[in-house]
């Protein structure tokens, strides 16, 4: 590992607490709260656990933290089944603990983004319980999407709509009606045509904004508006999610959804600085800009890199297209390589390519993992490429979203026994898709001890032996560790970041080389042979350099 001795320039960023544009090039760290740090030893991570790790987050050098849902939940979908939008799951703490966490983060100059799940509640939400107890056609049922069935005696679902997690998207209730759930049956979809639903979410956004949160991540932002005109349109002959370009799908990415976000934007702009929002919208790239509009949510995740193979041509095409799109909408670009829904990128890059013609899932999951990774996975190559891709990503203009554990170079945990799996995709597929538990295994903080320092109890998902050497305290002692590699990269990024501009240099098939304002350069070798490093002093690199040569699967930053 080449570590530069060059002094760092002054930090050009404006005061992060008041700058209304703080989000544009922020490094945002996603926390999966139940698997980050367990302060009370019950096996589930909690908010006091997050608070206790603020010094860690500060040393890592992130600008913002986005915890996945921490609300009361039966965990039918890892917390994305929300019982109460304005409270904290008692197993994770209390609202006071939330305030302590926010204060500790803000005290360290770190922003806080909370996850809002507006497409569906949990089936334990007071409104859904009320709907179940109320008769057909009642106002309580009209907050959700209830319909009579088809076929003899209404015994068949109202339409052919399928759940993202597998099976029909309709579930029958005892009086014979059916309700819509695009995800698990425990996640009934709200009816966004009902003004009460709209008011309720405005109150929730205000609740957290008043509590001092800086922004929101909007879960399945492209699903809220639905065409509910009777008879319900068939969806089986339409393009799958993400492929439509005309807004004609009965429930994905309909144009009316933007009326909702225009209303939210007005609320966000009542605050100083305005609250930010980022859409999780798995839509066709040509329609992403609508979510990122300054009159809408303001930013949208771009999952293109996350779905791409480690390939120079593909990366360049994606980067160029997204920068162009961001410039057209006024938003900044977003970049993501890992999150709580996909196979970790160190593992993706270490798997053999999927066979020609095989489709990647909606979350970029490779078919190989579903069948078990271990025999095929090259851990060393995967991590080497992951570090190279990360360093490239961190040099791009725009926001970088990082997922807990990637800074430790963690691999997907493939060896979770079926009996211990939690993800509904595993149960609804059934068992064909191993699900997303493998990237949600509790973090290792120490090389030994119960749950590798995650907490005093047994972790809620089993941790593999290789987590010990990957633990935080072990990596802190090793200057070449992935953790120290991330720390240094984020430190440099914070200081080097200038205008949201990028100039490509050269156009080799296997090398990506570009310059940012102020002379900061990033060069990545995707090929199989070493290439000459350009002129300049090396700031950082993802692997050891070979004199003046950049080895394969390596990125270097130069000034
Ligand atoms: C989003 C979340 C995912 C969740 C789903 C349903 O895609 O990222 O974890 O299962 O929405 O809420």
Q: What is the pLDDT of residues 473-487, one digit of tens each?
A: 999 999 999 999 999
CB 29 within 8 A of CB 41: no
Q: Which of 256, 280, 262, 126 is nearest to 193 (CA)?
A: 256
Looking at ligand 1, which atom is closest to the CA of residue 436?
9
pLDDT of residue 372 exceeding 70, the answer is no
Q: What's residue 119's pLDDT?
A: 98
d(CA 178, CA 263): 30
Q: How confident is the model at residue 244 (pLDDT cuts 50, 70, 90)?
A: low
In the structure, which protein residues have their CB atom closer than 6 angstroms to any atom of ligand 1?
Answer: 77, 80, 117, 183, 219-220, 280, 340-341
pLDDT of residue 1 exceeding 60, the answer is no
CB 161 within 8 A of CB 170: yes
Average pLDDT over residues 519-543: 97
pLDDT of residue 278 exceeding 80, the answer is yes
Q: What is the pLDDT of residues 393-424, one digit of tens each?
A: 999 999 999 999 999 999 999 889 999 999 99
Write down the architecture of domain 126-180 according to CATH.
Alpha-Beta Complex (3.90)
Q: What is the pLDDT of residues 323-350, one digit of tens each?
A: 999 999 999 999 999 999 999 999 999 9
Looking at ligand 1, which atom is closest to the CA of residue 282?
7
pLDDT of residue 273 exceeding 80, the answer is yes
Burial class (CB in 10 A: 0-12, 13-18, 19+), 251: buried
Residue with CA nearest ligand 1 atom 4: 80
Q: Give the distance (Å) from ligand 1 centre to CA of residue 117.
A: 8
CATH code of the domain occupying 501-558: 2.60.40.1180
Residue with CA nearest ligand 1 atom 3: 341
Looking at ligand 1, which atom is closest to the CA of residue 117?
12
d(CA 514, CA 534): 11
pLDDT of residue 371 exceeding 70, the answer is no
Q: Give the distance (Å) from ligand 1 centre to CA of residue 477.
A: 36
d(CA 105, CA 109): 6
Q: For a substitution probing ligand 1, which of 33, 77, 85, 224 has the most ligand atoms within 8 Å of its CB? A: 77
DSSP per-residue letters across 1-57:
-----PPPPP-----TTT-TTTTTT-EEEEE-GGGT--SSSSSS--HHHHHHTHHHH
pLDDT of residue 10 exceeding 50, the answer is no
Q: What's residue 426's pLDDT?
A: 87
Residue with CA nearest ligand 1 atom 12: 80
Burial class (CB in 10 A: 0-12, 13-18, 19+), 303: buried
Q: Which pairing describes strands 554-558 and 520-525: parallel, antiparallel, or unpaired?
A: antiparallel
pLDDT of residue 7 exceeding 80, the answer is no
**DSSP state at residue 375:** T
Q: What is the pLDDT of residues 487-526, one digit of tens each?
A: 999 999 999 989 999 999 998 899 999 999 999 999 999 9
CB 267 within 8 A of CB 276: no
Coil vs helix vs strand at 104: helix
CB 411 within 8 A of CB 382: yes
pLDDT of residue 310 exceeding 90, the answer is yes
- Written as six digits, the tokens of 292 are 């990122």
Q: Would you say the pTM of this structure is higher than 0.85?
A: yes
Looking at ligand 1, which atom is closest to the CA of residue 425?
10
Q: How confident is the model at residue 427 (pLDDT cuts 50, 70, 90)?
A: confident
Alpha-carbon separation of residue 370 from 146, 308, 421 (angstroms):
34, 18, 13
Average pLDDT over residues 123-145: 98
pLDDT of residue 208 exceeding 90, the answer is yes
pLDDT of residue 359 exceeding 50, the answer is no
Lowest mean pLDDT across 84-93, 154-163, 206-215, 282-291: 282-291
Q: Which fold has domain 27-121+194-494?
A: TIM Barrel (3.20.20)
Q: What's residue 3's pLDDT?
A: 32
Residue labelled with tokens 């989000």: 23
Looking at ligand 1, which atom is closest to the CA of residue 165?
10
Average pLDDT over residues 457-474: 96
Torsion of CA 494, 500, 505, 508, to 10 degrees: 90
Q: For a substitution probing ligand 1, which of 66, 70, 75, 80 has the most ligand atoms within 8 Å of its CB? A: 80
Number of residues that this document lists for the chain: 559
Residue labelled with tokens 């370009």: 245
- Per-domain residue ranges of the chain: 27-121+194-494, 126-180, 501-558
Say whether 270 is catalytic: yes
Q: Give the distance (Å) from ligand 1 centre to CA of residue 426.
A: 14
CB neighbours of 525 closer than 8 A, spacing ≥ 6?
A: 388, 510, 511, 531, 550, 551, 552, 553, 554, 555
Q: What is the 3-state secondary structure (H, E, C) of 460-507?
A: CCCCCHHHCCCCHHHHHCCCCCHHHHHHHHHHHHHHHCCCCCCEECCC
- Written as six digits, the tokens of 336 are 């993501």
Report, in this order, helix, strand and coil percent for the chain, each rounded to 5.
30, 15, 55
Among candidate residues 270, 324, 480, 501, the one labeled active-site is 270
Percentage of residues in the chain having pLDDT higher than 90: 85
- Written as six digits, the tokens of 150 are 């088809």
Q: How confident is the model at residue 429 (pLDDT cuts 50, 70, 90)?
A: confident
Q: What's residue 13's pLDDT?
A: 36
Q: Give the distance (Å) from ligand 1 centre to CA of residue 304.
A: 17
d(CA 442, CA 459): 7
Q: Give the distance (Å) from ligand 1 centre to CA of residue 169.
A: 15
Among candidate residues 46, 97, 115, 219, the one labeled active-site is 219
pLDDT of residue 68 exceeding 80, the answer is yes
Query: Taking all residues of the chain, what is their mean pLDDT, rounded to a whole number?
Result: 91
CB neighbours of 326 closer than 8 A, spacing ≥ 6?
A: 292, 332, 333, 398, 500
Q: Give the distance (Å) from ligand 1 centre to CA of residue 530.
A: 41
Looking at ligand 1, which atom is closest to the CA of residue 183?
6
Q: Give the distance (Å) from ligand 1 centre to CA of residue 508.
A: 38
pLDDT of residue 160 exceeding 50, the answer is yes
Q: What's residue 428's pLDDT?
A: 83
Q: How confident is the model at residue 171 (pLDDT cuts 50, 70, 90)?
A: very high
Q: Give the distance (Å) from ligand 1 centre to CA of residue 434.
A: 16
Q: What's residue 425's pLDDT?
A: 86
Average pLDDT over residues 428-433: 81
Q: Give the distance (Å) from ligand 1 centre to CA of residue 255.
A: 21
Q: What is the 3-state secondary structure (H, E, C) of 175-232?
A: CCCEEECCCCCCCCEECCCCHHHHHHHHHHHHHHHHCCCCEEEECCCCCCCCCCCCCC
């Amino acid at each position: 590992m080449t570590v530069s001795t060059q002094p760092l320039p002054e930090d050009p960023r404006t005061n992060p607490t008041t700058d209304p544009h703080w989000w544009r090039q922020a490094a945002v760290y996603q926390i999966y709260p139940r698997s980050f740090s367990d302060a009370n030893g019950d096996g589930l991570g909690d908010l006091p656990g997050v608070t206790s790790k603020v010094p860690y987050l500060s040393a890592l050098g992130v600008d913002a933290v986005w915890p996945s849902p921490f609300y009361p939940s039966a965990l039918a979908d890892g917390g994305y089944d929300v019982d109460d939008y304005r409270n904290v799951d008692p197993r994770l703490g209390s609202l006071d603990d939330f305030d302590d966490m926010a204060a500790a983060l803000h005290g360290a100059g770190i922003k806080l983004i909370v996850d809002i799940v507006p497409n569906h509640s949990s089936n334990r939400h007071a409104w859904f319980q009320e709907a179940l107890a109320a008769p057909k056609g009642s106002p309580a049922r009209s907050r959700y999407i209830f319909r009579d069935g088809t076929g003899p005696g209404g015994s068949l679902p109202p339409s052919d709509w399928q759940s993202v997690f597998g099976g029909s998207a309709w579930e029958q209730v005892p009086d014979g009606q059916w309700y819509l759930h695009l995800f698990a049956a425990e996640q009934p979809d709200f009816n966004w045509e009902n003004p009460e639903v709209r008011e309720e979410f405005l109150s929730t956004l205000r609740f957290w904004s008043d509590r001092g949160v800086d922004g929101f991540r909007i879960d399945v932002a492209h699903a809220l508006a639905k065409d509910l005109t009777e008879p319900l349109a068939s969806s089986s002959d339409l393009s799958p999610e993400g492929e439509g370009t005309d807004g004609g799908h009965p429930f994905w990415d309909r144009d009316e959804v933007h009326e909702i976000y225009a209303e939210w934007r007005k609320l966000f702009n009542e605050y100083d600085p305005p609250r930010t929002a980022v859409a999780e919208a798995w839509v066709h790239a040509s329609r992403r800009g609508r979510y990122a509009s300054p009159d809408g949510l303001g930013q949208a995740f771009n999952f293109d890199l996350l779905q791409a193979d480690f390939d120079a041509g593909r990366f360049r095409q994606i980067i160029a297209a997204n920068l162009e799109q961001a410039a057209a909408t006024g938003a900044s670009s977003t970049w993501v390589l890992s999150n709580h829904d996909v196979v970790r990128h160190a593992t993706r890059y270490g798997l053999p390519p999927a066979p020609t013609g095989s489709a990647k899932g909606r979350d970029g999951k490779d078919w190989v993992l579903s069948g078990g990774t271990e025999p095929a996975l090259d851990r060393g190559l995967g991590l080497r490429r992951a570090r190279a891709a990360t360093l490239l990503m961190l040099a791009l203009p725009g926001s970088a979203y990082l997922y807990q554990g990637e800074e430790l170079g963690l691999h997907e945990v493939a060896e979770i026994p079926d009996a211990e799996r939690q993800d509904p995709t595993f149960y609804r597929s059934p068992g064909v898709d191993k699900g997303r538990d493998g990237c949600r295994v509790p973090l290792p903080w120490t090389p030994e001890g119960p749950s590798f320092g995650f907490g005093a109890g047994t972790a809620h998902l089993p941790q593999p032996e290789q987590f010990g050497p990957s633990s935080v305290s072990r990596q802190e002692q090793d200057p070449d560790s992935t953790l120290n590699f991330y720390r240094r990269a984020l430190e440099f990024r914070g200081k080097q970041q200038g205008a949201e501009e990028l100039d490509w240099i050269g156009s080799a098939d296997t090398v990506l080389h570009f310059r940012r304002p102020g002379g900061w350069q990033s060069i990545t070798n995707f090929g199989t042979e070493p290439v000459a490093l350009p002129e300049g002093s090396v700031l950082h690199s993802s692997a050891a350099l070979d004199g003046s040569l950049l080895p394969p699967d390596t990125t270097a930053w130069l000034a």
